[in-house]
Amino acid sequence: MNNFVSDSFKNKNVLLGITGGIAAYKACLIIRELVTRGADVKVVMTPAASEFITPLTLSTLSGNDVVVKSFPASQKEGVSLRTWHIETALWADIMLIAPLTINTLAKISCGMADNALTTMVSAIRSPLVLAPAADLDMYQKPSTLENINKLTDRGSFIIDAEIGFLASGLTGPGRMASVEKIIDATELVLSGYKKDLVGKRILITAGPTLEDIDPVRFIGNRSSGKMGYKLANSAFLRGADVTLISGPTNENTYPEVKVIYVRSAAEMKIAVEYELKKNDILIKAAAVADYKPSVFNEIKLKKENKLKSIELSETEDILASINKENKIVVGFALETDNEITNAKSKLDKKNLDMIVLNSLKDSGAGFESDTNKISIIKKDGNKKDFDLNTKFQIANNILTELKTIK
């Protein structure tokens, strides 16, 4: 582990809008995350939101006054009494509204400015990130969907509500996205990315494969799976349809990403072959074991048997053997020496469009770390080096490079 934090939020001014839904309680966690990551957070809330959560809580967490009223009677009520809506709107590098009720969604979509929050939206110049939330029937009403589409077309970044257990006791679409996903989406937009992968179907592999010796022992590669999972998250946020084939890891992705869990290289190969038919792009971030025990012992090997060696045989090279016709294929290479030569040779031998090279010589790069330092080499020999960054930001670098491949 390392303490490197992406500077995406550092010294950034985030204007958080909160509207009156039960998910307003999650705004506390959002503020905490933003402040921890170095952002200056100001809150504007609707009067209805203050029924769910108090301005005192929000101003304590954000360290700033909270705006509720359009016409505060005095400075004490939260804002300076001049053109506060213009000043705050110009101050903001980004405006996030979470939760966004269908009422405020409707107001914003038709340009109303009838309270402090909607007035601020009408004055904002910076990007708008919206996390709608409602009960399932409210969320699925044609008017709600139309308003979401309207704001998407106008350039707002919508974090769609998730399917899940709702406050009403019903289960379905409408639950506000997780705090983690909202923070990721805000970072994505602050970093200049948008939903530029809509219509792309991306298959990603992640984690190690484990090759069993007996029911309790295995051989495998060191791999946390973090790079592959961050790739899945960023590709999803950027609008792609994502399938993740994962070896055993402790990582989680968003609920909308389809995950197929595998254990061995042989299982991963079957899954990749099957899923690749349905996808346009394969990113093979998994650390596949090159060897497996030639024999699997059904019964646990006992110490008294004095095992001296295990006979190994090669696993199949998935990347080298799959049918790549009409697919864009990206491989990874983790090297300790002759990095560029080795990566280029893998690119050629496995017939890849692009290879992502990690050098274990770089501190903060490679497995188990939250950061990575990579070079990308394309089929035409073009090489690009990237600075050390979080795996989420590195994932975005990889996806942006991938977009240039025809």
- Nearest residue (CB) to ligand CTP, 8 versus 209: 209
Nearest-angstrom CA–CA distance, 300 and 294: 16
- Nearest residue (CB) to ligand CTP, 276 versus 319: 319
- Nearest residue (CB) to ligand CTP, 51 versus 273: 273
Buried-state track 331-361, b at ≥16 Cβ within 10 A, e below 16: bbbbbeeebeebbbebbeebebbbbbbbbee
Residue 283 C-beta: closest distance to ligand CTP, Å: 8
Q: How far is CA 185 from the centre of its chain?
A: 7
Residue 207 C-beta: closest distance to ligand CTP, Å: 10
- Residues recognised as catalytic: 221
Residue 393 C-beta: closest distance to ligand CTP, Å: 20
- Nearest residue (CB) to ligand CTP, 105 versus 271: 271
Residue 272 C-beta: closest distance to ligand CTP, Å: 8
Q: Token pair of 254, please?
A: 């968003």
Residue 235 C-beta: closest distance to ligand CTP, Å: 16
- Nearest residue (CB) to ligand CTP, 105 versus 343: 343
Location of structure tokens 């690119």: 347
- Nearest residue (CB) to ligand CTP, 235 versus 334: 334
Task: Mark residue 61 as left, alpha or beta (left: phi above 0; alpha: psi -120 to 50; beta: remaining).
Answer: alpha
- Nearest residue (CB) to ligand CTP, 265 versus 276: 265
- Nearest residue (CB) to ligand CTP, 96 versus 322: 322
Location of structure tokens 């975005």: 396
Which residues contact ligand CTP (rule: CB under 6 A)? 265, 284, 286, 288, 290, 315, 317-319, 331-334, 346
3-class secondary structure per residue, the chain: CCCCCCCCCCCCEEEEEECCCHHHHHHHHHHHHHHHCCCEEEEEECCCHHHHCCHHHHHHHHCCCEECCCCCCCHHHCCCCCCHHHHHHHHCCEEEEEEECHHHHHHHHCCCCCCHHHHHHHHCCCCEEEEECCCHHHHHCHHHHHHHHHHHHCCCEECCCEEEECCCCCEEEEECCCHHHHHHHHHHHHCCCCCCCCCCEEEEEECECEEEEECCEEEECCCCCHHHHHHHHHHHHCCCEEEEEECCCCCCCCCCCEEEECCCHHHHHHHHHHHHCCCCEEEECCECCCEEECCCCCCCCCHHHCCCCCCEEECCCHHHHCCCCCCEEEEEEEECCCHHHHHHHHHHHCCCCEEEEEECCCCCCCCCCCEECEEEEECCCCEEECCCEEHHHHHHHHHHHHCCCC
Residue 8 C-beta: closest distance to ligand CTP, Å: 27
Contact between residue 34 and residue 63 where contact means Cβ atoms under 8 Å apart? no
